[in-house]
Homo-oligomer: A and B are copies of this chain.
Amino acid sequence: MTDHQGISDLLQERGIQPSAQRVAIARHVLRTDGHPTADEVLAQVRRSFPMVSRATVYNTLKLFVAKGLLRTCQFEGGVTVYDANVGRHHHFIDAATGEIHDVPWEALDVRGAEELAGFQVDSWMVVMRGRRRDDPGA
């Protein structure tokens, strides 16, 4: 799914014309389970595609979000990061490093969000902060 042809097909499925730039951006942003910023994507893509412009990266990321391939998140520092995991999940933010980790939806049990008085709740997520435990036994 991350080879050139596969990505090209995926973009076309979503109604996106698979230009060389878009495929290059998609390779970097859809293949990671990290949460890169637009500038990180730009830097990565430029290694294999030096002429790509900043505007193209921003436009393409926006397009991918509009087409449901990506979602954006804002946490610490006010920078927008992109998340290729578009299914329901929660987030854990490492207070020491700022790293963002996805937490599976089933790992937590949230009750009461749907029947909140005065609000029609369409979606929700839990945002946790703390430290990552680096005991390898876990």
Contact = CB atoms under 8 A, between A and B. Distances in A.
B126 A125 contact: yes
B108 A128 contact: no
Contacts of A121: 92, 128-130
Contacts of A125: 126-127
Interface residues of A, number: 37
A50 interface: no
A92 B112 CA distance: 13
A66 interface: no
A59 B103 CA distance: 35
Contact of A132 (B78, B118, B128, B133): B118
Given A92-B121, A101-B119, A103-B119, 4 more contacts: A74-B74, A78-B78, A118-B138, A120-B131
